[in-house]
Amino acid sequence: QKKEGIKMIEIWTDGAASNNGKENAIGGWAYVIVKDGEELCHGSGAEKGATNNRCEYLGMLEGLKELERRVDLTQHECVSCFSDSALLINTLTKWIFNWKERGWRRKDGPIKNLELVQELYPYAIDSKFKFYHVKGHVGIKWNEECDQLAVAARLNLEDK
């Protein structure tokens, strides 16, 4: 009996904000889900007052939720998750574990966007999900698409 080939699932995410950190900030986020090298779906959204970091978290979280709705993850050994945000990748691969042990606090104070970090925690501890940092704005196909989707979502909300 032939073994079926390895099925590849990837999530690419990005966040973008104008006037980052200011009262009139608008942030956009996006994800692209890629199955066996082809785009399965994508999504995006925007929030008034959101920082770039919040949008990086939202892009990953919303992408992971959509993946669970669309794909039977029992059929996949690994989900590769890519972002150009070092903060997001470090959160999910290094810091989040100690933050939880400390009662969801950093050594030097509160965690920004705590509710999103807590929602991402189950993915961070699940060995099925692998998180990778990629360099942004260097022509990586899916990273560029995510960036364009996040910026478009932000601009769309700015126009309202």
Q: Is the pTM of this model over 0.85?
A: yes
Q: Can you list the residues of the chain whose pLDDT is less than 50?
A: 1-3
Which positions ≥6 away from 33 have C-beta within 8 Å?
Answer: 9, 10, 11, 39, 40, 41, 42, 63, 66, 67, 70, 71
Residue indicated by tokens 């960036």: 147
| pLDDT value of position 7 | 72
| pLDDT value of position 5 | 62
| pLDDT value of position 8 | 87
Could you report how far apart the first and last alpha carbons of the chain are, in Å? 58
| pLDDT value of position 2 | 42
